């Protein structure tokens, strides 16, 4: 959430900045957890497609507790990084993009579809995970069928990760784009998990096709505990469903609370208008003069590798 973005956007965007979350998506995971208790008794978790890191912040806070400093939502037990130095990290975050550090979270830069990334996650974790979450999204093209297909491929890659690192009985949460194939995805999930819901948290805009599959009680396919890090054939076979049905759909979050599609008046301190036109008259209407100006909030976390820096470097190299 950079400075160029309009602060006037929806209420979750604004609240995320006020409360120190790196992205408004934090509220989606918080609402999913409140509804389904997915982080209850969870000790080890893998956060796939994690940058800029608001879900990792939520995981850090809910698994490790709030940071002792006044650093807002920045993370969990700062300094102790989830216990003694000899202890392995309990939260591993993976993304193509680099991520600024979060207390108690080990970040891996890599592609979740690449088996070597998965090997790195397994090595770091050292034990099976209780939960895998994936908020992955490809760069959308606007061609809905294509976008839905690419998104589904990310979910399949995330399922491959589950097959390798998730313990039996564990939980999986992933972003999906709703479309004609949603029923198929639900059926595929039901082969691997005992309890599967499609959920729409209140913080997810109603106008967006995104939803979240919440799959609990993992039942791994027979050969998924082998050492081979390729996505295994039994998993692929398990996903070959011929007659999909409709998935049960749950709306969650406080349904009478903030609506992510609306704009709300900001609660901002009164501030006297000062601007004048060239004749020295106020350049605003009396109504505009009475309206308080919103205070622009700085981003919670500056981008780690913004594309504009690479563009500037290229331009400088030309001169």
- Residue list for the binding site for S-adenosyl-L-methionine: 53, 55, 95, 111, 135
Single residue of 11, 16, 46, 52 touching ligand SAM by CB under 6 A: 52
Choose among 51, 32, 43: nearest CA to 215: 32
Of the candidates 1, 39, 42, 53, which one interacts with ligand SAM according to CB under 6 A? 53
Q: Are 188 and 238 in contact (CB under 8 A)?
A: yes
- 95: contact with ligand SAM by CB under 6 A: yes
Q: Does 97 bind ligand SAM (CB under 6 A)?
A: yes
**Rounded Cα distance, 22 and 164, in Å:** 29
Pick from 136, 160, 201, 220 the residue near ligand SAM by CB under 6 A: 136
Instruction: Please give the residues from 194 up to 253 whose contact with ligand SAM meets the rule CB under 6 A.
Output: none
Who's near 50: CB < 8 A, 6+ residues apart?
A: 56, 93, 94, 95, 99, 107, 135
# binding residues, ligand SAM (CB under 6 A): 22
Per-residue tokens: 91: 């939260």
Which residues are known binding-site members? Answer: 53, 55, 95, 111, 135
Catalytic site residue 175? yes
* Residue in 11, 50, 129, 213 binding ligand SAM, rule: CB under 6 A: 50
Our CB check for ligand SAM shows the closer of 91 and 190 to be 91
- Asked if 23 touches ligand SAM (CB under 6 A), the answer is yes
Determine the Cα angle at 15 with ends 14 and 16, to 5°.
Answer: 90
Q: Is 75 a binder of ligand SAM (CB under 6 A)?
A: no
Instruction: Give the span between the Cα atoms of 28 and 11, in whole angstroms.
Output: 13
Q: Does 78 bind ligand SAM (CB under 6 A)?
A: no
Would you count residue 22 as binding ligand SAM (CB under 6 A)?
Answer: yes
**Strands across the sheet with 166-177, in order?**
105-109, 91-95, 45-48, 129-134, 166-177, 210-218, 193-201, 249-252
Distinct helix (H) and strand (E) counts, the chain: 9, 8
Catalytic residue (one of 17, 28, 122, 175): 175
User: Looking at beta carbons only, is 96 or 312 nearer to ligand SAM?
Assistant: 96
Residue recorded with tokens 């949460």: 173
Chain centroid to Cα 56, Å, comes to 8
Minimum CB separation of residue 116 from ligand SAM in Å reads 12
* Cβ atoms of 214 and 36 closer than 8 Å: yes
**Separation in Å, CA 208 to CA 6, 175, 177, 192, 261:** 19, 12, 9, 27, 9
Q: Which tokens in the block code for residue 306? A: 């913004």
Region binding ligand SAM by CB under 6 A among candidate stretches 107-115, 199-207, 247-255, 291-299: 107-115
CB of 238 vs ligand SAM, minimal distance in Å: 22
Interacting residue with ligand SAM among 10, 33, 130, 135 (CB under 6 A): 135
> Binding to ligand SAM (CB under 6 A): which residues in 149-188?
154
Interaction between residue 16 and ligand SAM (CB under 6 A): no
Tokens of 48: 């796939």
Q: Which of residues 66, 101, 115, 138 is near ligand SAM by CB under 6 A?
A: 138
Is there a contact between 300 and 1 (Cβ–Cβ < 8 Å)? yes
Residue choice 31, 54, 151, 182 for contact with ligand SAM (CB under 6 A): 54
User: Which residues are tagged catalytic?
Assistant: 175
Applying CB under 6 A, the residues found at the interface with ligand SAM are 22-23, 25, 49-55, 94-97, 111-113, 135-138, 154
């Amino acid at each position: 959430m950079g400075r160029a973005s309009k602060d006037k956007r929806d209420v979750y965007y604004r609240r995320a900045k006020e409360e120190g979350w790196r992205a408004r998506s934090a509220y989606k995971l918080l609402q999913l957890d409140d509804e389904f208790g997915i982080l209850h008794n969870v000790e080890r978790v893998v956060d796939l497609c994690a940058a800029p890191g608001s879900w990792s912040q939520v995981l850090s806070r809910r698994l490790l507790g709030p940071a002792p400093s006044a650093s807002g939502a920045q993370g969990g037990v700062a300094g102790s990084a989830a216990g003694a130095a000899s202890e392995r990290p309990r939260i591993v975050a993976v993304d193509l993009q680099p991520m600024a550090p979060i207390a108690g979270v080990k970040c891996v830069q890599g592609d979740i579809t690449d088996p070597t990334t998965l090997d790195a996650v397994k090595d770091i974790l050292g034990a099976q995970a209780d939960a895998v979450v994936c908020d992955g999204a490809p760069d959308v093209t606007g061609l809905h069928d294509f976008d839905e297909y690419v998104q589904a491929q990310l979910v399949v890659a995330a399922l491959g990760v589950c097959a390798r690192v998730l313990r039996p009985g564990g939980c999986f949460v992933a972003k999906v784009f709703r479309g004609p194939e949603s029923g198929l995805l639900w059926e595929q999930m039901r082969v691997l998990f005992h309890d599967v819901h499609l959920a729409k948290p209140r913080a997810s805009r109603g106008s967006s096709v995104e939803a979240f599959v919440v799959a609990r009680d993992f039942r791994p396919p027979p050969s998924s505990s082998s050492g081979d890090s390729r996505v295994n054939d039994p998993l692929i076979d398990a996903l070959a469903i011929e007659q999909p049905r409709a998935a049960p759909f749950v709306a969650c979050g406080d349904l009478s609370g903030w609506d992510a599609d609306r704009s709300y008046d900001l609660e901002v301190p009164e501030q006297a208008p000062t601007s004048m036109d060239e004749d020295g008259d106020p350049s605003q209407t009396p109504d505009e003069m009475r309206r308080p100006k919103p205070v622009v909030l700085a981003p919670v976390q500056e981008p780690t590798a913004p594309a504009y820096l690479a563009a500037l470097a290229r331009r400088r190299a030309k001169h």
